């Protein structure tokens, strides 16, 4: 964080988000990640002479979905443009992108920083094709080209320079990440590059209107790196200016190993991209009926779902936020509530604490969870009908995680059914009191704290199966004498 | 009976189905003519004899089964701008001298499916940039009417081959006149359909918003039957138009009485050679005799066509040709120091002078700070040219004028003056800028050299153009003349 109280950072983020289409944006080649190099490069991907692009309608749908989710304007007519530069992993010598007329413009996203809600403007989001990859390792002095990724659909989401700190930047990115994953338009996998960020950073003295000269740090692929890169860049810029220097408009690269950014190319060496409308693609017309149809396909968005969880299930904001963090998690939770018939708050505790804790330990996620929503509901049903106590349930849950079967089978096999027969509990209490006359006397003499000792002893004697409510009540009666 | 190279496609098709000759025999006949006559012309870059044999045998089998269509077994030549699977597709450039296309262009698929037999790939101006076929890396093509003269361009190989009877018909492409001007200079009938009527998939792009494939033949009737098979919507080309293809053949015999023909006064102004003018004027008289109504019209923005074209076409070309970088296919320079060196040397060596000139012009007009003044302005002028035609077609059915300013010029006479060369296309470019269909047909000779007449029609009015041309050809015999030495 900046130590320099008189300075203010101005940050705008450009996020490249790969769309979850089955095929590429302008051809029928598959977009699956991780295939053998160049096995997903068809004639169009390779940019062979004579080939032509045809827009993947699903990519357009997804971009519109995103636009609607950030309350943006959907362009009734948008245009693809060619962006020219030479690089071996760019087969045609130009990238098909959008320039003057993007599909999405003038949206916003509200982020929460501490208790404050802040609105971050989204200038635009445009459709474009991804480039391939240059592989510099393992080719002894040569460069390998893998064009599998080339032509994968992207939306580039450009924020307004409304962000003022690395904390806000990360809050914005996380919110955006959650949103695109929720919408089902992006898998959000940052390591595989499905969601990556360029940060435009400048600094100015607080109270000044004019923006300082900005730098653009490219291709940062984790939330933590974004935070570090921005912090480094703010510090660096302030130091340069305070020591009498000037910021140069340039593109920089972040090095995760050192936490530093370094200059990649200056504005003077910047490409002249020579944008012009792609004559191979007609302008794309999106009618109001198209927008209405796509609006009808929109899932419930995270914020709306969070509010509903609070009102419908009586959850705290904290729990509601946790459970709506991912669409799959939210669906899991709702399935547990529905299927178990148990108290919604109890379900929330089990899902957000026990289940997520276990998944975290196992290195799994909701989709690969060893315990299905139905299975967890089966366990919670037994708590609700007092077959087992909450404490015993934890043991059953562990056994379920270990793959020992469903809740009922485990309860039966381990003889964990709760003792609700009060005469049996009374007998156990009387036995314990008979064995510990000194403690009984001490308790009756005013040592209230010994109550816990008796609870523990009775639980031990019953193998933990005594119904806790009944035990408490009966123990109090007996000890009172 | 006439020799096969003197027969129309209908006569050839009848002969095949009537078992007068087989497709194999036809194919042999034309391959032999190529063998003996093409050394004088240089009209072919690649001869595909073995492929032709296979296709001919398949066509004969199809004919024997009674499944033949009107084009089954008919030989043709493909311009070397169309990708042909397993066959070198060079675009007449050193850049693609060793490029074997791994796929077929849509029109190649369509004509193969119709049963046509490809004899080879025609020479052309490099990447279709030229009006004389002198920019080919494989050397210039000679005009069969006078071997010291150009055949026109860029489809110079296609027209020379058909005019010399090396094939009954050839495909061609037209970005600014590349079908019509060479057709005019070699006494052929050539048609460039409406932009979007024929798929561009697999046709190596020069200027995407102007390029359109078509056909050069010895009559309107021959052109109609082949264009019919080439046309149609292609889901692989976003600019192809989803609209049924009109029947181009059935209406050929309709009389043209009452047809309204517009003569744009700008096309008969200064610059048109007197001999060519006389031929076109005689043709106009003939149309009047056929019952057409002649009317003078104005296309006031015509003078802006050439400058507009030489902004738009190079701009798109500079972009389309960026893919030829020596990385994945095509010419790659040896002994390069680094990546930038690889690009510079591969492109510097692989592209000829005219292609480099247009890439530079195109790069310039698209560059930052110049885009509005050139490219954007040119697009606005293009709109004005389109509006000219819209007004014209409210008054007349077809627009008629000369195709070229004069007859074929001498090889080498304009190669040092690019602007003089560019002015060859002064009458043809407007149709590309507007996207309308246009054709050229023979209308006489000046000193033994052919003169072409241009007809332009409204959008998707190919059937009408071909009908008008066919009616003219029923009343004249210019199109039946063949160059001496190639009879």
pLDDT at A466: 84
Residues A209 and A214: their CA atoms lie apart, in Å, by: 15
A196 domain-assigned: no
If pLDDT is split at 50, 70 and 90, which confidence band does A266 have?
confident
Residue B367 appears among annotated catalytic residues: no
B85 touching A (Cβ < 8 Å): no
- Residues B261-286, mean pLDDT to the nearest whole number: 96
The least confident of A393-407, B341-355, B433-447 is A393-407
pLDDT at A390: 85
The answer to whether B366 contacts A46, with C-beta atoms less than 8 Å apart, is no
A201 domain-assigned: no
Contacts with A133 from chain B: Cβ below 8 Å = none
A466: CATH: 1.10.10.410
The partner residue sitting opposite A49, judged by closest CB among B96, B208, B319, is B96
B42 or A136: which carries more pLDDT confidence?
B42
B301 φ, ψ (degrees, to nearest 5): -90, 5
Closest CA to B84 of B49, B109, B56, B119: B109
Are residues A364 and A258 both part of a single domain?
A: no
Mutate to test the interface with A, among B195, B366, B432 (most CBs of A within 10 A): B366
A183 domain-assigned: yes
Distances (CA, A) of A101 to A97, A453, B10: 10, 74, 51
Please check the confidence at residue A235 and state whether its pLDDT lies above 80: yes
Q: Which of A383, A413, A443 is the C-terminal boundary of a domain?
A: A413
Please check the confidence at residue B172 and state whether its pLDDT lies above 60: yes
B360 domain-assigned: no
B422 domain-assigned: no
A236 domain-assigned: no
The partner residue sitting opposite A52, judged by closest CB among B99, B201, B325, is B201
Are residues A321 and A375 both part of a single domain?
A: yes
B154 domain-assigned: yes
Task: Tell me the residues of chain A between 371 and 430 that have a Cβ less than 8 Å away from chain B.
Answer: none
Domain with A451, as residue range(s), is 422-480
Q: DSSP assignment of A133-159, as one string?
A: EEE-SSSTTS-EEE-SSTT-EEEEEEE
- Residues A104-111, mean pLDDT to the nearest whole number: 97
Residue B154 appears among annotated catalytic residues: yes
A465 or A279: which carries more pLDDT confidence?
A279
Please check the confidence at residue B1 and state whether its pLDDT lies above 80: no
The least confident of A181-190, A465-474, B210-219, B284-293 is A465-474
Which of B158, B178, B219, B305 is an active site residue?
B178
Are residues A263 and A126 both part of a single domain?
A: yes
Say if CB B190 and CB B214 are below 8 A apart: yes
Please check the confidence at residue A392 and state whether its pLDDT lies above 90: no
B98 or A424: which carries more pLDDT confidence?
B98
If pLDDT is split at 50, 70 and 90, which confidence band does A2 have?
very low
The partner residue sitting opposite B105, judged by closest CB among A50, A53, A94, is A50
Contacts with B375 from chain A: Cβ below 8 Å = 276
Are residues A336 and A436 both part of a single domain?
A: no
A24 or A442: which carries more pLDDT confidence?
A24
Residue B174 tokens read as 């037209």
Q: Which of A239, A263, A292 is the C-terminal boundary of a domain?
A: A292
pLDDT digits (tens, 9 = 90+) for B394-441: 999 999 999 999 999 999 999 888 888 888 889 999 999 999 999 999
B115 domain-assigned: yes
Q: Which residues have C-beta within 8 Å of that of residue B317, sequence separation ≥ 6?
A: B127, B129, B206, B207, B355, B358, B359, B362
Please check the confidence at residue B148 and state whether its pLDDT lies above 90: yes
Say if CB A128 and CB A156 are below 8 A apart: yes
Contacts with B93 from chain A: Cβ below 8 Å = none
pLDDT at A3: 57
pLDDT at A480: 83
pLDDT at A148: 96
pLDDT at B6: 96
A135 touching B (Cβ < 8 Å): no
B459 domain-assigned: no
Residue B319 appears among annotated catalytic residues: no
Coil, strand or helix at B455: strand
pLDDT at A1: 44
Which of B154, B155, B158, B231 is an active site residue?
B154
pLDDT digits (tens, 9 = 90+) for A169-217: 999 999 999 999 999 999 999 999 999 999 999 999 999 999 999 999 9
Helix A468-480 crosses helix A437-444 at what angle (to 10 degrees)?
A: 80
pLDDT, averaged across chain A: 92
pLDDT at A139: 84
Are residues A288 and A326 both part of a single domain?
A: no
pLDDT at B17: 95
- CA B386 and chain centroid, separation: 21
Are residues A347 and A462 both part of a single domain?
A: no
B61 or A221: which carries more pLDDT confidence?
B61
B170 domain-assigned: yes
Please check the confidence at residue A4 and state whether its pLDDT lies above 80: no
The interface pTM score, or ipTM, of the predicted complex is 0.96
The answer to whether A47 contacts B103, with C-beta atoms less than 8 Å apart, is no
The tally of domains found in chain B comes to 1
A241 domain-assigned: no
A50 touching B (Cβ < 8 Å): yes
Mutate to test the interface with B, among A59, A82, A136, A274 (most CBs of B within 10 A): A274
Cβ-based neighbour number of residue B379 at 10 Å: 17
Rg of the Cα trace of chain B? 21
Are residues A140 and A30 both part of a single domain?
A: yes
B340 domain-assigned: no
The least confident of A461-465, B9-13, B116-120 is A461-465
Please check the confidence at residue B459 and state whether its pLDDT lies above 60: yes
Are residues A42 and A153 both part of a single domain?
A: yes
- What is the distance in angstroms between the Cα of A85 and the nearest Cα belonging to chain B? 9
Are residues A356 and A469 both part of a single domain?
A: no
- Residues B191-213, mean pLDDT to the nearest whole number: 98
The answer to whether A279 contacts B204, with C-beta atoms less than 8 Å apart, is no
Closest CA to A74 of A99, A101, A103: A103
A209 φ, ψ (degrees, to nearest 5): -85, -40
The tally of domains found in chain A comes to 3
Q: DSSP assignment of A391-442, as one string?
A: HHHHHHHHHHHTT---HHHHHHHTT---B--HHHHHHHHHHHHHH-HHHHHH
pLDDT at B422: 85
B238 touching A (Cβ < 8 Å): yes
Domain with B73, as residue range(s), is 4-258
Are residues A465 and A379 both part of a single domain?
A: no
A351 domain-assigned: yes
Q: Which of A413, A437, A471 is the C-terminal boundary of a domain?
A: A413
B78: CATH: 3.90.1300.10
Closest CA to B45 of B140, B151, B115, B113: B140
Residues B90 and B98: their CA atoms lie apart, in Å, by: 7
B25 or A207: which carries more pLDDT confidence?
B25
Which of B13, B23, B43, B79 is an active site residue?
B79
pLDDT digits (tens, 9 = 90+) for A442-465: 998 888 888 989 999 888 888 888
Are residues A284 and A336 both part of a single domain?
A: no
pLDDT at A141: 81
The partner residue sitting opposite A49, judged by closest CB among B204, B237, B327, is B204
A297 domain-assigned: no
Are residues A402 and A436 both part of a single domain?
A: no
**The model's pTM:** 0.90
């Amino acid at each position: 964080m900046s130590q320099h109280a008189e300075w203010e950072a101005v940050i705008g983020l450009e996020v490249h988000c790969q769309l979850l289409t089955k095929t590429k944006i302008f051809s029928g080649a598959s977009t699956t990640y991780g295939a053998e190099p160049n096995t997903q490069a068809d004639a169009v991907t390779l940019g062979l002479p004579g080939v032509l692009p045809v827009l993947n309608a699903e990519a357009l749908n997804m971009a519109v979905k995103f636009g609607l989710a950030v309350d943006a304007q959907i362009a009734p007519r948008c245009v693809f443009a060619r962006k020219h530069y030479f690089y071996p992993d760019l087969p045609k010598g130009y990238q098909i992108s959008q320039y003057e007329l993007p599909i999405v413009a003038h949206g916003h996203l509200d982020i929460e920083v501490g208790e404050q809600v802040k609105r971050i403007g989204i200038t635009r989001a445009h459709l474009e094709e991804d480039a391939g990859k240059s592989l510099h390792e393992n080719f002894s002095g040569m460069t390998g080209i893998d064009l599998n990724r080339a032509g994968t659909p992207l939306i580039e989401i450009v924020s307004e320079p409304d962000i003022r700190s690395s904390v806000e930047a990360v809050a914005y990115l996380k919110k955006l990440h959650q949103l695109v994953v929720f919408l089902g338009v992006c898998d959000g996998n940052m390591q595989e590059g499905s969601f990556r960020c360029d940060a435009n950073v400048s600094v100015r003295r607080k109270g000044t209107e004019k923006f300082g000269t900005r730098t653009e740090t490219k291709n940062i692929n984790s939330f933590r790196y974004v935070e570090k890169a921005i912090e480094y860049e703010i510090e660096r810029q302030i130091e340069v200016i305070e020591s009498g220097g000037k910021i140069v408009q340039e593109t920089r690269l972040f090095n995760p190993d050192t936490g530093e950014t370094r200059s990649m190319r200056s504005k003077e060496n910047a490409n002249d991209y020579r944008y012009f409308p792609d004559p191979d693609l007609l302008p794309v017309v999106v009618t109001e009926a198209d927008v209405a149809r796509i609006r009808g396909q929109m899932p419930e968005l995270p914020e709306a779902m969070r509010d509903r969880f609070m009102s419908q299930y009586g959850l705290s904001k904290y729990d509601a936020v946790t459970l709506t963090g991912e669409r799959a998690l939210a669906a899991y939770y709702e399935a547990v509530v529905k299927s178990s018939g148990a108290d919604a708050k109890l379900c929330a505790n089990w899902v957000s604490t026990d289940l997520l804790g276990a998944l975290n330990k196992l290195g799994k996620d909701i989709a690969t969870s060893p315990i299905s929503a139905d299975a967890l509901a089966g366990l919670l049903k037994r708590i609700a009908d007092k077959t087992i106590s909450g404490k015993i349930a934890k043991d059953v849950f562990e056994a379920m995680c270990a793959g020992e079967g469903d809740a009922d089978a485990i309860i039966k096999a381990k003889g964990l059914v709760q003792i609700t027969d009060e005469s049996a509990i009374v007998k156990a209490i009387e036995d314990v009191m008979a064995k510990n006359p000194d403690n009984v006397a001490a308790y009756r003499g005013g040592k209230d704290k010994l109550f816990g000792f008796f609870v523990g002893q009775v639980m031990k004697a019953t193998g933990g199966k005594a119904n806790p409510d009944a035990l408490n009540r009966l123990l109090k009666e007996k000890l009172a004498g | 009976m006439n020799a096969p190279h003197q027969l129309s496609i209908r006569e050839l098709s009848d002969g095949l189905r009537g078992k007068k000759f087989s497709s194999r025999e036809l194919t042999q006949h034309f391959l032999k003519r190529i063998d003996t006559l093409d050394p004088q012309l240089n009209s072919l870059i690649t001869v595909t004899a073995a492929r032709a044999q296979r296709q001919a045998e398949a066509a004969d089998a199809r004919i024997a089964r009674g499944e033949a269509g009107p084009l089954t077994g008919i030989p043709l030549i493909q311009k070397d701008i169309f990708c042909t699977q397993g066959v070198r597709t060079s675009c007449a450039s050193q850049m693609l001298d060793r490029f074997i296309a791994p796929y077929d262009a849509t029109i190649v698929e369509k004509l193969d499916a119709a049963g046509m037999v490809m004899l080879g790939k025609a020479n052309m101006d490099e990447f279709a940039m030229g009006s004389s076929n002198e920019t080919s890396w494989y050397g210039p093509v000679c005009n069969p009417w006078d071997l010291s003269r150009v055949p026109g361009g860029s489809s110079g190989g296609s027209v020379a081959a058909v005019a010399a009877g090396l094939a009954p018909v050839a495909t061609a492409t037209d970005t600014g006149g590349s079908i019509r001007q060479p057709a005019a200079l070699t006494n052929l009938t050539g048609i460039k359909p409406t932009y979007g009527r024929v798929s561009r998939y697999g046709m190596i792009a020069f200027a995407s918003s102007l390029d359109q494939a078509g056909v050069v033949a010895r009559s309107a009737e021959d052109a109609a039957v082949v264009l019919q098979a080439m046309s149609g919507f292609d889901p692989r080309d976003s600019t192809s138009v989803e609209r049924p293809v009109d029947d181009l053949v059935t209406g050929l015999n309709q009389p043209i009485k009452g047809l309204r023909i517009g003569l744009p006064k700008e096309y008969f102004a200064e610059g048109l050679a007197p001999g060519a003018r006389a031929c076109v004027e005689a043709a106009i008289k003939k149309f009047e005799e056929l019952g057409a109504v002649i009317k003078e019209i104005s296309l006031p923005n015509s003078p802006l066509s050439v400058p507009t074209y030489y902004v738009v076409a190079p701009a798109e070309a500079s972009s389309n040709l960026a893919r030829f970088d020596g990385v994945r296919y095509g010419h790659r320079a040896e002994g390069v120091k680094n990546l930038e060196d690889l690009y510079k040397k591969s492109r510097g060596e692989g592209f000829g002078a005219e292609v480099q000139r247009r890439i530079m012009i195109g790069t310039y007009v698209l560059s930052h700070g110049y885009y509005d003044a050139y490219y954007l302005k040119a697009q606005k002028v293009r709109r004005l040219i389109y509006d000219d035609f819209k007004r014209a077609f409210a008054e007349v059915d077809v627009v008629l004028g000369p195709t070229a300013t004069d007859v074929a010029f001498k090889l080498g006479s304009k190669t040092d003056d690019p602007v003089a060369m560019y002015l060859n296309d002064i009458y043809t470019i407007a149709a590309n800028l507007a996207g309308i269909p246009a054709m050229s047909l023979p209308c006489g000779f000046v000193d033994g050299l052919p003169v072409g007449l241009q007809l332009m029609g409204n959008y998707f009015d190919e059937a009408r153009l071909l009908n008008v041309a066919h009616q003219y050809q029923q009343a004249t015999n210019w199109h039946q003349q063949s160059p001496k030495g190639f009879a």
